[in-house]
Amino acid sequence: MKLLNNLVKFGVPVLGIILISSCGSQQRSVIPQAVNTVSTVTFRDLNLRTGDYYLLNKVNADATINVEYKSDDHIQIQCVEDDFTLTYKKDKTGVWAIDKFKGVARLGYLTNDDRNMTTSLYSPEDIVRRLAIYRLINSVQQQGADGLIEPTISTNVVQTGKKTVTFTTHAEGKLIRLKSTK
């Protein structure tokens, strides 16, 4: 069915890795990641008539991370729900590098997202956004939908302690299922 070719292709969670060099040395860190990707399209792009699909319901997902400034040269990003932590440290030249990590970064991507397809593991906003999208895609898959339309994503940043900033992202969209001709 031609509509299926124009609609959403679901990504299967894949274990990805990022190799990050630290300050001129040959030392490398492997950050475990689980990645989901989903294509999104607008109703206009689908060219669907009312009888071509079912609107199932809305889905939403939230993610929260805490960024703690431990010292002038030591920052920790933590997602308590996923037991995921990244610790950054400044090297002798003043460049930030990943010092330690714990857990798996579960990141999701929308293929038509206005940001590029790589996530900076140095940007708390990118990390929390991708965590919420990963959870949203899991909801889409669990409910057996054919597509996610009209996704909206918002992030709120607040100072929650003297040296702690909390990033919270809410992602939502509408699920559709195509009517089969067979």
What is the set of domains in the chain, with CATH numbers? 2-178 (3.30.110.70)
Q: How many CB atoms lie within 10 A of CB 162?
A: 7
Asked if 134 and 106 count as a contact pair (C-beta separation under 8 A), the reply is yes
In terms of phi and psi (left: phi > 0; alpha: psi -120 to 50; beta: otherwise), the region of 80 is alpha
Sheet with 105-110: list strands edge to edge. 14-21, 28-38, 105-110
| The pLDDT value given to residue 172 | 94
In terms of phi and psi (left: phi > 0; alpha: psi -120 to 50; beta: otherwise), the region of 51 is alpha
Asked whether residue 7 carries a pLDDT value surpassing 60, the answer given is: no
Alpha carbons 100 and 133: distance in angstroms, whole number: 24
Asked whether residue 23 carries a pLDDT value surpassing 70, the answer given is: no
pLDDT digits (tens, 9 = 90+) for 126-145: 899 999 999 998 988 898 88
